Structure 1
Amino acid sequence: MPNDRQPVSSARISRRAVLTAALAASAGLTAAACAPGASSTGGGGDSFTYWSMWKQNEPQAKVLQAAITRFTQDTGIKVSIQWKGRQVIQQLAPTLNTANVPADLVDSADRFAYAQLQATGQALDLTPLLSEAIPGESGNTVGSVVPARYRDLNTTDGTLWQIPYEVLTTQIWYDGKALPDVAANPPATWQEFTELLAGRKKALGDGPLALDADIPDYAAYWTYYAVLRGLGPGAFGKAAVDRTGAAFEAEGFVDALRHIEKLIGAGDFTSGYDGSKWPAVQQKWAKGKSDFLLLGTFAPSETAEFASSGFRYRSFPFPAFTGGGEAAQDISLIGFSIPKKARNSAAAQKFIAYFLAKRQLSGISAQAKNITPRSDITAPAELADAQKALASGTIVKTLDGVKETAAEWYTKVFQPLNTSFITGHLTAEAFAGKLKSASAAHWKTAS
């Protein structure tokens, strides 16, 4: 959703009876508490304070609250939970360099954890936690259930600053009920995609691509994915920090932009996308008045209340430009971090290991309708295609991580120019030229 507000499913949470403590779980948790490498600032192990990015009535919060209740019953460790909302890290940041950090555990989107914890030297290294047993799961450790491909995205200079529990990626969404031929044979290459768009444009009498262009992040997906497909992982991020701006006028970069320029010129975006107010076009799409929506795996949750009867959420990856060409999937993560000065970090680490057990973490899929890092937890039906895409290909950090490493450039330089490009006010060449000059000016004055 706009403004970094992670959307969630509106599905109601089924209530479970809380089971009695398991001896095996207690044993595993005790081992975690005594882990070598557990923070030297761990303090007392009988309680900790947890600040969460969720609001109390959201599905993720309900899954976490149920796990907290069981955790306290199983271990005797009390958890003081505060549902802070999306600005949780920003609220915590002013306290991180004091002697009284109020939270021992915090969850957030990865980019905020990086910017406010890791980049400021205030993140506890969670690498030692990887060897800890998952309570109640013989042979499983934190490191074995959270794949290295995800952990690596949250590791900087050897410091693991976040343990993820929710995975988001970007797909092109459509109604499998309305478009069974697409479901049977989704386009894998750009040529197949554009041929599909041409056919659907004739059928609809309008552009089949849905986009609320007033949301800069949503418009950015199109440009970023074109650069990713044309130049490969890291190219967008490298260009973002090029102090000369010259990378944007390289032929490969401009050629990637031309792919999107042709969609715009052909009228492939639905009428009114360039003057829409979110969520007008998404609602139009969910009602079957356009066909394809490029958005994160929060798309089903974000559009479900508007969807036509029987809408069947299906998706496919942004097509490769050529057969066998670049097909990496972008990734954003939500997970747990611990401030370096947390007073009860040992107890907080116990909870991380506890929550990653299949019994607890499955709720993120079954109830909150999102993908988890664990390959043995099946994604909800709406996200089955996305989970398959993640399992079968290379993954890269969304936008090459520029929201972490070049956030001011992204919001002040790239987003305004990109919106002008996507809405047809700049050609690919003009867009690249303005990116070059504006980026050079930005980095000349940036600290």
Structure 2
Amino acid sequence: MALAGVALCASACGGSSSGGAGAAGSGAGGDHLTIWSQWLKGQPGQQFLQAAVDDFQKQTGIKVTVQWKGNAVVKSLLPALNSPDVPTDVVETSASQIQNVLYPAGGMLDLTSAYQQQVPGTGQTVAQVVGPAATSLATPTDAAGQTTGGPVVVPYWASATGVVFYNGQNFPALESAAPKDWDAFFSILDAQKAKNRRPLAQDGSVTSYNAVFYNDFLASILGPDALNKAETDKTGQTWKQPGYLQAAQLVERLAKGGYFTDGYDASKFPAMENKWANNDADFNVNGSWLPSEVGPVAAPGFDYRSFAFPAVAGHSAPPLNVTVSGIGVLKSSKHQAAAEKFAAFLLQRGYQEQVATEMQNIPIAKDVPAPPAVQAVKQAIDAGQVNTVRSPASLADYNAKIYFGLDDKLIFGKLSAAQFIDSMSSDSADYWKSKG
């Protein structure tokens, strides 16, 4: 979703669908590295990675073959993960996919040693370039949130959700004076409503987008682990504790106060974000990929700007929900050293700059700026304002059957805040009782 179908390219892009043999160079002579990638041919990520592969081959003499699998990369690899003849050395995808699917199956290498490697031309190790917050996101945890080993991904880019986007042409003052809390933001939204605007675009058909509001309101009020605590309470009583209702009341205020664009509750993605990109709405709470996603349909001269989801007044801002993506190495690989070398290769400043300029996304390296549209988000990530609390994979069924459906009704104005809390409490208890 983050970058699919976006036609962005620069002079350094290019290459065939797989890397050919490079010129003999320093290093690993007969190595032949195979990579399965999350990108499809023609996507900015594919063009970036192919160019990096071509450079790597020329500089190291290591032959690299890439298969562009797209979003099916993990699903395609899983059946062969522990077979005697695994078809790849490296899987290039999001850390969450590796942690939730491939790592539990026992096929991924602990990359602690890779984090001690020097990144060429930087004088820093991989660990220093990646930073502690991103390293944490690249490290698997158990149901209690405890790490279960070292990192299993060397990330080279990041994305974030809960980002508030706007057109800088329409709100020039916000670039240097973004609202720090929702009291200030409501004042801006109310001023737009007074102009007969519906200021917030919301694609209601995407449940995960709908959930951002309650998730981040709750994280601001009670902390980023509050949702996990309530969802895993088999009695359902945690939902009744102070703070959970306050977060729901803020969603109710948005839903019943006329803040969302007309038809958001019956729209089909991406109708509402496209309306926003054509100035039919003022703000869109979305992911860092939004500018690339709407680029082909946006109004001419649209100036993408953003700020992080504001705090609930009187509380701290919620930490950013960040996903990191990069290089995972299979335990069965016979070319682990070459794979780790390639992972470090992508963290050089030149390639990190291309993550921003060619992929139009957020570089991992702390000293490399992101595109202007998400630079404020990058600054928050570099400052460590990142949510490292993750929802256990075991809660996926609960979210699908309980939370997302009730949250949709809350954000559509079909449930009051009090009704939402009562339903979450009782339905949670019934759900866990059915599980024994």
> Would the TM-score normalized by the shorter structure come out above 0.5?
yes
Counterpart check, 1:394 vs 2:385? yes
Distance 1:441 1:329 in 2: 32
Counterpart check, 1:130 vs 2:127? no
Question: Could you tell me which residue of structure 1 aligns to residue 410 of structure 2?
Answer: 421
1:403 Cα deviation (Å)?
Answer: 6.5
Q: Mapping of 1:307-322 within 5 angstroms? A: 307-322=298-313
* RMSD between aligned residues: 2.3
The partner residue of 1:362 within 345, 353, 360 is 353
Question: Could you tell me which residue of structure 2 aligns to residue 15 of structure 1?
Answer: 12
1:282 Cα deviation (Å)?
Answer: 0.7
Distance 2:394 2:4 in 1: 24
Which segment is superposed worse, 194-203 or 339-348? 339-348
Distance 1:234 1:7 in 2: 31
Distance 1:358 1:340 in 2: 28
CA gap of 1:110–1:408, structure 2 versus 1, over 3 A, is farther
1:66 Cα deviation (Å)?
Answer: 0.6
Distance 2:392 2:298 in 1: 31
CA gap of 1:393–1:350, structure 2 versus 1, over 3 A, is closer
Query: Is the CA contact (8 Å cut-off) linking 1:245 and 1:437 kept in structure 2?
Result: yes
Counterpart check, 1:185 vs 2:184? no
For residue 263 of structure 1, give the secondary structure of its aligned residue in structure 2.
helix
Counterpart check, 1:251 vs 2:280? no
Counterpart check, 1:106 vs 2:81? no
Which segment is superposed worse, 171-180 or 229-238? 229-238
For residue 10 of structure 1, give the secondary structure of its aligned residue in structure 2.
coil
For residue 235 of structure 2, give the secondary structure of its aligned residue in structure 1.
coil
Distance 2:4 2:393 in 1: 20
1:408 Cα deviation (Å)?
Answer: 1.9
Distance 1:378 1:298 in 2: 16
Question: Could you tell me which residue of structure 1 aligns to residue 188 of structure 2?
Answer: 196
Counterpart check, 1:148 vs 2:148? no
Counterpart check, 1:431 vs 2:420? yes
For residue 213 of structure 2, give the secondary structure of its aligned residue in structure 1.
helix
Which segment is superposed worse, 283-292 or 414-423? 414-423
Question: Could you tell me which residue of structure 2 aligns to residue 328 of structure 1?
Answer: 319
1:306 Cα deviation (Å)?
Answer: 1.8
Distance 2:336 2:31 in 1: 11
**Please, which runs of 5 or more residues in structure 1 have no aligned partner?**
34-43
Amino acid corresponding to residue 300 of structure 1 in structure 2: P
Question: Could you tell me which residue of structure 1 aligns to residue 158 of structure 2?
Answer: 167
Q: Encode CA deviations 1:205-230: one digit per residue, 9 max, x unaligned.
A: 13201101011111111111111111
1:350 Cα deviation (Å)?
Answer: 1.5
Amino acid corresponding to residue 201 of structure 1 in structure 2: K
For residue 245 of structure 2, give the secondary structure of its aligned residue in structure 1.
helix
Query: Is the CA contact (8 Å cut-off) linking 1:369 and 1:380 kept in structure 2?
Result: yes
Which segment is superposed worse, 138-147 or 69-78? 138-147
For residue 97 of structure 1, give the secondary structure of its aligned residue in structure 2.
coil
Q: Mapping of 1:17-416 within 5 angstroms? A: 26=26, 30=27, 46-135=31-120, 137=121, 139-155=123-139, 156-170=147-161, 171-203=163-195, 205-323=196-314, 325-397=316-388, 400-402=389-391, 404-416=393-405
1:200 Cα deviation (Å)?
Answer: 0.7
Q: Encode CA deviations 1:371-397: one digit per residue, 9 max, x unaligned.
A: 111012221122222212223352104
Query: Is the CA contact (8 Å cut-off) linking 2:23 and 2:61 kept in structure 1?
Result: no
Higher RCO (CA-CA < 8 Å; seq separation 6+) = 1
**Please, which runs of 5 or more residues in structure 2 have no aligned partner?**
16-21, 140-146
Distance 1:394 1:267 in 2: 31
Query: Is the CA contact (8 Å cut-off) linking 2:137 and 2:323 kept in structure 1?
Result: no
Alignment identity in percent?
33
Distance 1:386 1:292 in 2: 16
Distance 2:367 2:23 in 1: 22
Q: Encode CA deviations 1:94-123: one digit per residue, 9 max, x unaligned.
A: 111221211110011222111112223322
For residue 101 of structure 1, give the secondary structure of its aligned residue in structure 2.
coil
Q: Encode CA deviations 1:130-187: one digit per residue, 9 max, x unaligned.
A: 111123x152221121101110122232321111111111310000101223334221
CA gap of 1:440–1:93, structure 2 versus 1, over 3 A, is farther
Per residue, is there more helix in 1 or in 2? 1
Distance 2:136 2:334 in 1: 27
For residue 311 of structure 2, give the secondary structure of its aligned residue in structure 1.
coil
CA gap of 1:436–1:68, structure 2 versus 1, over 3 A, is same
Distance 1:47 1:441 in 2: 54
Q: Encode CA deviations 1:320-377: one digit per residue, 9 max, x unaligned.
A: 1125623422211112111222232222112111122122232211100001110122
For residue 348 of structure 1, give the secondary structure of its aligned residue in structure 2.
helix
Q: Encode CA deviations 1:395-434: one digit per residue, 9 max, x unaligned.
A: 104xx42263522222222212211111111111221222
Question: Could you tell me which residue of structure 1 aligns to residue 143 of structure 2?
Answer: none
Distance 1:197 1:212 in 2: 18
Paired residues in the alignment total: 422
Amino acid corresponding to residue 242 of structure 1 in structure 2: D
Query: Is the CA contact (8 Å cut-off) linking 1:358 and 1:377 kept in structure 2?
Result: yes
Query: Is the CA contact (8 Å cut-off) linking 1:114 and 1:404 kept in structure 2?
Result: no
Distance 1:380 1:371 in 2: 7
Query: Is the CA contact (8 Å cut-off) linking 1:417 and 1:435 kept in structure 2?
Result: yes
For residue 85 of structure 2, give the secondary structure of its aligned residue in structure 1.
coil
Query: Is the CA contact (8 Å cut-off) linking 1:420 and 1:426 kept in structure 2?
Result: yes
